[in-house]
Structure 1
Amino acid sequence: MNEHVQAEGTAPLFNPLAPDFIRDPYPHYERLRTADPMHRTQFGAFVASRHAEASLVLRDKRFGKDYVERTVRRYGPKIMEEPIFRAMGHWMLQQDPPDHTRLRGLVVKAFTARRVEDMRPRIQEIVDQTIDAIIDRGHMDLIEDFAFRLPVTIICDMLGIPEEHREVFYKSSRDGGRILDPVPMTKEEIAQANAGHAMAQMYFHQLFELRRRNPGDDLTTQLVQAEENGSKLSNEELTANIILLFGAGHETTVNLIGNGLLALHRNPDQLALLKANPPLITGAIEEFLRYDSSVQLTGRVALEDIDDLGGKQIPKGESVLCLLGSANRDPAVYPDHPDRLDITRPNVKPLSFGGGIHFCLGAQLARIEAEIAISTLLRRLPDLRLDDADNPQWRPTFVLRGLLRLPASW
């Protein structure tokens, strides 16, 4: 440990995989914002915990992804031979222009406001079917039985995954996500990630063949056609980005619905207010995003020496991790009790979807899915209660913040 990370005998300021950090990161963020807002972590990166620096880094052209360089820096020169890291290198999420611009341009049309708005009836239908299936049981796990099915179904619709293939996706384990954490992975974790990636790759290659033979009105067909014309997309890029869209298209929305429902039940006054005034749901979703973001961190790399960022010099090649969950509770932006859930809070502009050229493609889709899911649940199961709102089980990952399960009864 270097001396500016911690004094003798104290815990590191930023230890994101520690159980108490995962359970409730917000007191830790407050300490960071107060004590060392541009903190140099024990694994080398800087963490930006205030809104001002985090939002600047996301939008500033002097920062980029620089994926290969930054990964080699963390793991050594052989790391890009690992299939999972090679695949991630092709994600548009990890690319800089011009590759990023080209890849994003191929999928952006599927996520336009108009397209997404038109999906409302389908989203409503899935939510109602999900509730119909369990309403007589009197209990369920809000994650597996409710929050998970909607976004998985929608992303399967968008990617043209046939109905008869979907059961495996509804049952698939949710132990990914570790790969995104800022703490380096062990050999075992890398091997596990490679195995998961190989399975996904095998499936999507079959899907590509299917869509070459039977084109559909879906994103996979569009991308397969872009790959066939050669200049737009290589096969590796096609595979990596479909896997990215599949993961990003459901993981974070599951967590938004779960974290939002937990927040409401931990704040009965807000739950009562929303039940009494259903139209408040639109603002409530923004507040859920702010209050307990599904994505807690996103990173950039300095593409040149930065003289002064929050009082620190950032040398070229250094990573800056933007703590979105911390920025969302910065009293400089939310002066009125930032740690309180307030579904009527004005001017909520959460950083939860990132910013700049990598701003989340599916932001509007996630909002609408969460809005319909939560409002329909409150309307149809008004007496639903969480079995244990005080000690929920969080997933052991930090960047993707969400619950393992959330049992409820009515």
Structure 2
Amino acid sequence: MTDQAPIKAAAALDPSLSLFQLLEPAIHADPFPFYKRLREEAPVAWDPFMHTWVVTRYEDVHFVLKEFSADRTPDVAKMEALGLPSLGPVADVMAKQMLFLDAPAHTRLRKLCMSAFTPRRVEAMEGKIHEIAHQLIDDHIGNGQMELIADFAEPFPAIVTAGLLGVPLDDHRQLKAWSATFAEMLGNFQHNPDRIRDVLKCVADMTGYFRDAVREQERNPHDGLIRSLMDAEVDGQRLSEDEVIANTIVTMVGGQETTTNLMGNGLLTLIRQPDKLAQLRDNPEIIASAVEELLRFETPSQHTARICPADTMMGGQLIRKGEAVMAVMAAGNRDPERFADPDTLDLTRTDNRHLAFGWAAHFCFGAALARMEARIAFPALVGRLQNLSVTSDILEWRTNSGLRGLTALPIAFRAGERAA
């Protein structure tokens, strides 16, 4: 990005503006006033507590997502040099995932995976996704209450993901447990020895499980993304078995964590704004724009890391080649220079090119499926669960600043009729 403003010496950052503030429960519960301060007072800032640049304006976040490097995973040798040889197996898996690669390696993997994960495959799942959503509601609607996260927002994408991959649907609870553990590394500022041990075991167990799934596909071929990844061929190139497993893992995790957060955060937002909830219930035809607005307003994946590929001027600051940059999509999605009345939930917003799914080469691989799940789930929930209310005065959020979501959302309601 060319920036004609004079270079400013990076001032010492006010500690109250460090991303470490997201570890404070009160700020984590509602980070948007904090993001507003960052945009206004330090839109491009070196955070010495996080050892990274932090960008929060829409234009800058968009540029970083589009132009900066995603290749930020230390290889096994670097892990050993850092004195963390035990994390080598984790780095080995992540180094084969699209999420952490640049062209040309990323381009090759993306083409092969997209040839397997086609729009037609997503469209073919629509009827089954409807069934899953309504069955989960059927299981609890007679009680007049449910715990939305455990009873719906977690199992819904987990069952969909199991069906997508072509593994037994009964395994969805195990897939969800692995997904939650693996996500501890993604967007989480705090890592302790217990989490490291859990993640190592998780990666070993997932790798073994999906290697067995590949063997099962060889013995008994059947439909599913794993089979399609095994068969994918573009320009004479194919995925290795380790690449099939690594990208199955990242698809499984990405397909669950952000969707769970969108379901929980989105329904809480609607319950807190009864007029908007009623608007969606009474006008189901607005669901497509409503989903995009909920993605903007309550961005499920709040921020992501990149590496500066060359000395770059941004916001009057010089970011040096090789320095880490944190792009805060959730802050960019509330930037008043890009969105009119950004802190207002507008379910019919038309100009809504939000950053929730990233941008350009690393645009979310599963965005079409996530959108379909949301377009099915929200009308089912608000349509069948009448007089919705939250039954707890205290809500807890997962201790993961990047993948911000509720640990639980107890709700009460009056049972409504299922639409034809």
Shared fold, TM over 0.5: yes
What does residue range 6-405 of structure 1 map to in structure 2 within 5 Å? Answer: 6-7=13-14, 10-15=15-20, 16-41=22-47, 42-60=49-67, 63-68=68-73, 77-79=82-84, 82=87, 83-169=89-175, 174-181=180-187, 183=189, 185-225=191-231, 232-306=238-312, 308-336=313-341, 338-388=342-392, 391-405=394-408
Where 1:140 maps in the other structure, the secondary structure is: strand
Tell me if the contact between 1:74 and 1:184 (Cα under 8 Å) persists in the aligned partners: no
Question: Shift of residue 43 of structure 1?
Answer: 2.3
Q: Distance in 1 between matches of 2:345 and 2:135?
A: 30
Q: Distance in 2 between matches of 1:394 and 1:21?
A: 11
Question: Shift of residue 67 of structure 1?
Answer: 2.1
TM-score scaled to structure 1, two decimals?
Answer: 0.90
1:377 corresponds to which letter in structure 2? L
Query: Can you list the C-alpha shifts for 1:255-285, whole angstroms capped at 9, x where unaligned?
Result: 1111110110111111121122121211111
TM-score scaled to structure 2, two decimals?
Answer: 0.88
Query: Can you list the C-alpha shifts for 1:19-43, whole angstroms capped at 9, x where unaligned?
Result: 2232111111011101110111122
Q: Distance in 2 between matches of 1:233 and 1:25?
A: 40
Question: Shift of residue 198 of structure 1?
Answer: 1.5
1:283 to 1:113, Cα distance in 2 relative to 1, 3 A = same
State percent identity of aligned pairs: 38
Name the count of aligned residue pairs. 401
Greater mean alpha carbon deviation, residues 185-194 or residues 370-379? 185-194
Tell me if the contact between 1:80 and 1:86 (Cα under 8 Å) persists in the aligned partners: no
Tell me if the contact between 1:53 and 1:309 (Cα under 8 Å) persists in the aligned partners: yes
Question: Shift of residue 159 of structure 1?
Answer: 0.7
Q: Distance in 2 between matches of 1:216 and 1:351?
A: 36
1:402 to 1:316, Cα distance in 2 relative to 1, 3 A = same
1:167 to 1:54, Cα distance in 2 relative to 1, 3 A = closer
1:403 corresponds to which letter in structure 2? L
Query: Can you list the C-alpha shifts for 1:214-264, whole angstroms capped at 9, x where unaligned?
Result: 11121111223459xx95333332222111111111111111111110110
Greater mean alpha carbon deviation, residues 206-215 or residues 171-180? 171-180
Greater mean alpha carbon deviation, residues 400-409 or residues 155-164? 155-164
Aligned to 2:412: 409
Where 1:274 maps in the other structure, the secondary structure is: helix
Tell me if the contact between 2:271 and 2:388 (Cα under 8 Å) persists in the aligned partners: no
Where 1:196 maps in the other structure, the secondary structure is: helix
CA RMSD of aligned residues (A): 2.6
Tell me if the contact between 1:256 and 1:294 (Cα under 8 Å) persists in the aligned partners: yes
Q: Distance in 2 between matches of 1:177 and 1:27?
A: 25
Q: Distance in 2 between matches of 1:184 and 1:236?
A: 29
Q: Distance in 2 between matches of 1:296 and 1:75?
A: 30
Question: Shift of residue 172 of structure 1?
Answer: 6.1
1:147 corresponds to which letter in structure 2? A
Runs of 5+ in structure 2 lacking a partner?
Answer: 1-9, 414-420
Where 1:157 maps in the other structure, the secondary structure is: helix
Tell me if the contact between 2:17 and 2:38 (Cα under 8 Å) persists in the aligned partners: no
1:75 to 1:369, Cα distance in 2 relative to 1, 3 A = farther
